[in-house]
Amino acid sequence: MKQYSLQQLEIKANEIRQSIITMLLEAKSGHSAGPLGMVEIFTALYFSILRHDPKNPLLPERDRLVLSHGHICPVLYATLAHAGYFPIEELLTLRKLNTRLQGHPHRGSVPGIENTSGPLGQGLSQAIGMALAARFDKKKHTIYCLTSDGEQNEGQIWEAVMLAGKYKIDNLTAFLDRNNIQIDGNTEDIMPLESLRAKYEAFNWHVIEIDGHNFQQIIDACNTAKAIVEKPVMIIAHTIPGKGVDFMEYKYEWHGKPPNKEEAALALAQLQKAHG
């Protein structure tokens, strides 16, 4: 796909946010805060960074995107639809009986989904497997893995982190969604995580910290990652849960619930006003 300009990325991100609100309202189920907070990262990846082709989803040389915290799948589905992998109208089937768009994504349901995710903490291991396979096959594509900060509570994450550092898996770039919330509270109250940067660096990762809503920083971080050799790269993206909807922002209570009709109308009005 052709690369979007920064202005085009901003417009597309707003459209994706509106799709997320609309599909959650229709489903009457699902997660709001995380998907809204990751919109810029997904938009930058699919419209500026990833090597991929919606018309040829199994392109051998495509980059792979592994979503580890599968509960934020509304943003994955919405971005794939806007990128042309399936009709945007299908987003309204989220979590419906027999839909292809279940509450956690699974490989083979719709084009563009690279991994099945549900239990937290497993995506990084999946991504490392893909990265090692690419190395063994002498392929040049990049594996991108998206993880949450709440997932860092899982022991499997740190086993994967150690392995990636040991084997210097430099075709792996991970994003850590540092929004500081999880389903039952703020991360630092439930299980303090800091210093995440120091922890990853201690395991031989190259770490970059960015504003996860700044398109230029997202793109620059991914370009830097491509130049790093003999280390995996962790991009710690500081994000605002519920970004774009003022009554959802920063509130962990919106981690796992959808808006009702009145809340959705208010959210959509805010988003539509933001871009005229």
* Domain that includes residue 254, residue range: 6-274
pTM for the model? 0.96
Q: Is 192 helix (H, G, I), strand (E, B) or coil?
A: coil
Torsion of CA 200, 205, 210, 213, to 10 degrees: -90
Q: Is the peptide bond before 125 cis (omega within 30 degrees of 0)?
A: no
Instruction: Centre a 10 Å sphere on the Cβ of residue 55 and count the other Cβ atoms it contains.
Output: 10
Whether 68 maps to a domain, the answer reads yes
Whether 191 maps to a domain, the answer reads yes
Whether 228 maps to a domain, the answer reads yes
pLDDT of residue 275: 74
Q: Let me know if 256 is exposed, middle or buried by CB neighbors in 10 A (0-12, 13-18, 19+).
A: middle
pLDDT of residue 1: 66
Whether 46 maps to a domain, the answer reads yes
pLDDT of residue 118: 81
- Considering its fold, how many domains does the chain have in total? 1
Domain containing residue 148: CATH number: 3.40.50.970
Give me the residues paired with residue 210 across strands: 237
Residue type, 83: A
Whether 122 maps to a domain, the answer reads yes
Each residue's pLDDT tens digit in the chain (276 positions)? 678 999 999 999 999 999 999 999 999 999 999 999 999 999 999 999 999 999 999 999 999 999 999 999 999 999 999 999 999 999 999 999 999 999 899 998 999 999 999 889 999 999 999 999 999 999 999 999 999 999 999 999 999 999 999 999 999 999 999 999 988 888 899 999 999 999 999 999 999 999 999 999 999 999 999 999 999 999 999 999 999 999 999 999 989 999 999 999 999 999 999 876
Whether 256 maps to a domain, the answer reads yes
pLDDT of residue 102: 94
Whether 1 maps to a domain, the answer reads no
Whether 193 maps to a domain, the answer reads yes
